[in-house]
């Protein structure tokens, strides 16, 4: 909530850089966003940024997109939100589109095909990494929920949408029922 007006192109450019230089997405983007919107430009105060991160994670969608919309809207209203969003998305969009157009032509090249055969199992391993790191520190009873969720989507073919709705409802019920007794758990 800074009072000085920032120009739209500047806003666009800052988020363009964030979109262009963050590999791996999500949490990898946070340090760069922090540098742009707090350290370099002073658009957002540090305490505000922590609240913003909590918000960005409570609302669906990529964290970088959520953060850019929020900062853009705070500084310049709807036009600011649009400029910041466009800045974040444009680098990925342009690069992936170029790859998609180009890739169609080389898809059946034997070298490219061999490279992808090597990358596919690697991708699966990289997806399993966060499953392990996120599970650490959770209560042991939660492993059953994790396993049941995984089986419901993979084995039974449930849509993740239903799973999320059910899990959210169960969490809300739990929170409301236990609040009185267990105040300190909230917000963890």
Partner 1 sequence: MILWQLFISYLKIGFFGFGGGYAMLSLIQNEVVVQHAWMTNAEFADIVAVSQITPGPIAINSATYVGYHVGMQTGHLWCGLLGSAIATLAVCMPSLTLMILVARFFLKLKGNRIVAGAMLGMRPAVIGMIASAALLLMFPHSDSPGDANFIDGWSWMLFAGVLIASWRKVNPILLIVLSALAGIGIYYLPTLA
Binding mask 44-83 for partner 1 (x = CB under 8 A): -------x--xxxxxxxxxxxxx--xx--xx---x--x--
Residue 186 in contact with partner 1, rule: CB under 8 A: yes
Q: Among 154, 180, 181, 184, which residue sits at the site for partner 1 (rule: CB under 8 A)?
A: 154
- Which pairs with CB-CB distance under 8 Å and at least 24 residues apart come from 34-39? 37/67, 37/71
21 binds partner 1 (CB under 8 A): yes
- What is d(CA 16, CA 84) in angstroms, rounded to the nearest whole number? 8
**Is residue 174 involved in binding partner 1 (CB under 8 A)?**
yes
Contact by Cβ (8 Å): 34, 20: no
Residues whose CB is less than 8 angstroms from the CB of residue 133 and which lie 6 or more positions away in sequence, other chains included: none
Binding piece for partner 1, criterion CB under 8 A, among 5-13, 19-27, 38-46: 19-27
Rule CB under 8 A: is residue 19 a binding residue for partner 1?
A: yes
CB of 38 or CB of 152, closer to partner 1: 152
For the beta carbon of residue 177, count every other beta carbon within 10 angstroms. 10
Range 113-142, binding partner 1 (CB under 8 A) = 113-132, 134-135, 138, 142
Q: What is the CA radius of gyration of the chain?
A: 21
Give me the count of residues in the chain: 188
* Residue whose CB is less far from partner 1, 9 or 25: 25
Q: Is 102 in the site for partner 1 (CB under 8 A)?
A: no
* Closest to 38 in 3D by CA, of 55, 57, 14, 5: 14
| 93/149 Cα distance (integer angstroms) | 32
Q: Is position 105 an interface residue for partner 1 (rule: CB under 8 A)?
A: no
Regarding 91 and contact with partner 1 (CB under 8 A), the answer is: yes
Site residue total, partner 1 (CB under 8 A): 100
């Amino acid at each position: 909530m800074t009072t000085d007006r920032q120009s739209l192109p500047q806003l666009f450019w800052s988020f363009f850089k964030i979109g262009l230089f963050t590999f791996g997405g999500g949490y990898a983007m946070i340090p760069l966003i922090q540098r742009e919107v707090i350290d370099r430009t002073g658009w957002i105060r540090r305490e505000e940024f922590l609240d913003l991160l909590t918000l960005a994670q409570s609302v669906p969608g990529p964290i970088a997109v959520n953060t850019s919309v929020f900062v853009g809207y705070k500084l310049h209203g709807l036009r600011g939100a649009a400029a910041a969003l466009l800045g974040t998305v444009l680098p990925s969009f342009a690069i992936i589109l170029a790859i998609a157009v180009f890739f169609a032509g080389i898809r059946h090249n034997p070298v490219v095909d061999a490279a992808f055969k090597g990358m596919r199992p690697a991708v699966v391993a990289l997806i399993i990494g966060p499953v392990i790191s996120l599970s650490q520190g959770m209560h042991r009873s939660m492993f059953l929920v994790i396993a049941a969720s995984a089986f419901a989507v993979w084995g039974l073919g449930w849509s993740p949408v239903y799973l999320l709705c059910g899990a959210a409802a169960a969490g809300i019920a739990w929170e409301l029922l236990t609040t009185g007794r267990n105040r300190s758990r909230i917000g963890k």
